[in-house]
Structure 1
Amino acid sequence: MTKNNRFFDVCIMCALAEEAKAVLEVISRRCGVSFEQGYSTSDNYEYRYTMIQNNKGESLLIHVSWPPDNGPLETSLHFKPVLKESHPRFVAMTGICAGDKRKVKLGDLVIVDRAFIYDNGKIVIGEDGQREPLHDVKTYNADPSVLQAVRLFDSWKPVVTKLKRPSSMRQQREWLLSKLLEEATPQLQKIDLKELEKHVPDWRKIVQELQGGPGSYLTKEWTLKNPSSIHQLRYGKEVFPFKDPPQPESHIAPMASGSAVRSDNPFKDVQIPVRGTVAIDMEGAAFYRTVEEFSNIRSLLVKGVCDYADKNKDDTYHRYASLVSATYILCFIQEYVTEERMPGSREYQPYGRESPFLLWNVPYRRNPFFTGREDLLEQLHEKLTATKAAALTQPQAIS
């Protein structure tokens, strides 16, 4: 355990502890490293850190943190001291978001080019007696050089395909309805239990939903109420039964942030001020806004779509979306954060008068783990253990 008194190359911020766990898991597994605990000097909050290698074999010191509570205010209050103490070259936020189902699929990645707070402004009563929002929006943007690199970045794709993708509730539901149309399995009990659990792991919950409500599909005997209506779905606008895409896609697009979790499909409203918005979360705008205070730090916000912010909202895709976004950001860090793009020897501009200016004139970043010197240490060992005498000398550095 240590106090944060060093420079970090990269800070990864997560809004939820479960998102931070996904980051730790992905980096540990992909890079073969373990994390150590650290504590910030300003508020004594815990963080985790480790050393990894980028694609050029350069060492990167990684800092992973999460706020004590969720929401935009907590994100800003927690994240500013992190940047102030750690002086990273690059910062990222990963995690989960809700997506517009007309534009994205579950598990897709949203690479946020700009974020905004969608519930800023004023609400009035219109002439029709309905509430009318008058938006007052300011967007907070990713670094242009980062976005340029993102547009041709695709080395994350073969890595993400190795992640086990859960079956969406829609895929499970439509597989079951299609199976009940078959002559051999007109009733739920006729379906082999192993096959049922393989294709519909949440079948108990889904059966209950299909039996409930005025538009229910199943009878109390677990048969289709109206087989012909299900059969007609095969000739609709979308393919029936629905199948989840084999791998996620990435979308470089705006994201809206608000102060509440939504399950009322709010996308038509949040797209009024920024029409290209494809996702919503609670912390994205606060993240980019906080980074704006540090002009020498580059940043990127990446989130995985875990639901559609509608009445069918559930937690099925939380873990997968967290892992996908963490995997993407790790691959991007290893590709993008290099001495060539962001020299580690640059001078840091301290934030605020109370922040001490840390002197470091060596043209390489500090390496607290003292790694990458195996050849030199081997030579030193051979010299010191030889039969003849050996000595360590230091040429005069200052005349």
Structure 2
Amino acid sequence: QYDEGKREKDEFLSDIRQARISKEWLAAAQSLDPRDLPSFGHPNGGERKLWLMHKLYQGFDPRVLPARKRYFADGEWSSTLVDLEKSGELLIEGTSIKLTEVGRSAVERSLVMDVDPPKTLPFEIKTGPIASGNVVVKNGMTWDMLKRSGVRTVLGLEMEAATIGEIAKQCGIGEWIVIKGVMDHADPNKADRFKPFAARASAEALRKFLIGRFSV
């Protein structure tokens, strides 16, 4: 629970409480592979191009994002850049990659046209701390606050998991787990288009985990 504490004039003094799952269940979660889940899918060429251009549009350098390796197999990155250069949607200047006006128009058109949630994505299952709070966050600043509080390994922000962990602790339940679908970076780019996909993918991962733990 990351938002408990004391608000001073110029800073927030956090009083972070942690609820830990068992080491056995953590190890089982770390072994989960998403590639055989229905919501997992490898992107095609058009989807790779759109992902790259969307990240540039949002102000990210797609070369350093962890998702790049899931969208681009060996050799696909350079060929995609060449194709986007030829189409006039992208410009490479020195070591910088920039969208052209044509590229920006393509991204903005996709933001208008692509309103349905995706059916498949090359998502990844990660294990680690989840930070729970009482407000919806989209300012992009909470990550820095958590780092200053000494919690630098948080993988996601949400609003329910800490309660589940606390109740499990109070009831003497030693084995519990929360699986959440992360759909944005809790910054101004936050949107709800991916919410149904995130819910479905996390449910599939939870089902796989439970079948693996309790099937006989």
Name the TM-score class by shorter chain. 0.5 to 0.7
- Structure 2 CA distance, aligned partners of 1:250 and 1:160? 14
Q: Deviations over 1:19-60 (max 9, x none)?
A: xxxxxxxxxxxxxxxxxxxxxxxxxxxxxxxxxxxxxxxxxx
The letter of the residue matching 2:164 is F
State the Cα distance separating 1:270 from its structure 2 match: 2.1
Instruction: Report 1:187-202 matches (<5 A).
Output: 201-202=110-111
Q: For residue 385 of structure 1, what is the aligned residue in structure 2?
A: none
Q: Runs (4+) of structure 1 moved beyond 4 Å?
A: 160-165, 167-172, 174-180
Q: For residue 128 of structure 2, what is the aligned residue in structure 1?
A: 253
Secondary structure of the corresponding residue to residue 134 of structure 1: strand
From the superposition, tell whether residues 334 and 204 of structure 1 become closer, same or farther in structure 2 (CA, over 3 Å).
closer
The letter of the residue matching 2:139 is D
**Pairing 1:121–2:5 present:** yes
Conserved? CA contact 1:257–1:281, under 8 Å: yes
Secondary structure of the corresponding residue to residue 180 of structure 2: strand
Q: For residue 144 of structure 2, what is the aligned residue in structure 1?
A: 268
From the superposition, tell whether residues 174 and 290 of structure 1 become closer, same or farther in structure 2 (CA, over 3 Å).
closer
Conserved? CA contact 2:39–2:200, under 8 Å: no
- Number of equivalent positions: 168
- Structure 2 CA distance, aligned partners of 1:332 and 1:147? 11
Conserved? CA contact 2:183–2:195, under 8 Å: yes
Instruction: Report 1:1-399 matches (<5 A).
Output: 117-125=1-9, 131-154=10-33, 156-160=34-38, 162=40, 171=52, 173=54, 179-181=87-89, 201-203=110-112, 247-265=122-140, 266-273=142-149, 274-296=151-173, 298-338=175-215
- Structure 1 CA distance, aligned partners of 2:205 and 2:127? 13
- Structure 1 CA distance, aligned partners of 2:190 and 2:25? 32
State the Cα distance separating 1:263 from its structure 2 match: 0.8
- Give unpaired runs (5+ residues) of structure 2: 58-83, 91-99, 115-120
State the Cα distance separating 1:295 from its structure 2 match: 2.1
Conserved? CA contact 1:173–1:200, under 8 Å: no
Secondary structure of the corresponding residue to residue 140 of structure 1: coil
Secondary structure of the corresponding residue to residue 128 of structure 2: strand
Higher strand share: 1
- Structure 1 CA distance, aligned partners of 2:122 and 2:40? 9
- Structure 1 CA distance, aligned partners of 2:197 and 2:42? 8
State the Cα distance separating 1:174 from its structure 2 match: 6.3
Q: Give the structure with higher Rg (CA).
A: 1
TM-score, structure 2 length as denominator?
0.64
TM-score, structure 1 length as denominator?
0.36
Residue identity over aligned pairs, in percent, reads: 21
Q: Deviations over 1:344-378 (max 9, x none)?
A: xxxxxxxxxxxxxxxxxxxxxxxxxxxxxxxxxxx
Higher helix share: 2
- Give unpaired runs (5+ residues) of structure 1: 1-116, 126-130, 206-245, 340-399
- Structure 2 CA distance, aligned partners of 1:296 and 1:305? 26
State the Cα distance separating 1:133 from its structure 2 match: 1.5
Q: For residue 95 of structure 1, what is the aligned residue in structure 2?
A: none
Secondary structure of the corresponding residue to residue 250 of structure 1: coil
Q: For residue 93 of structure 2, what is the aligned residue in structure 1?
A: none
Q: For residue 221 of structure 1, what is the aligned residue in structure 2?
A: none
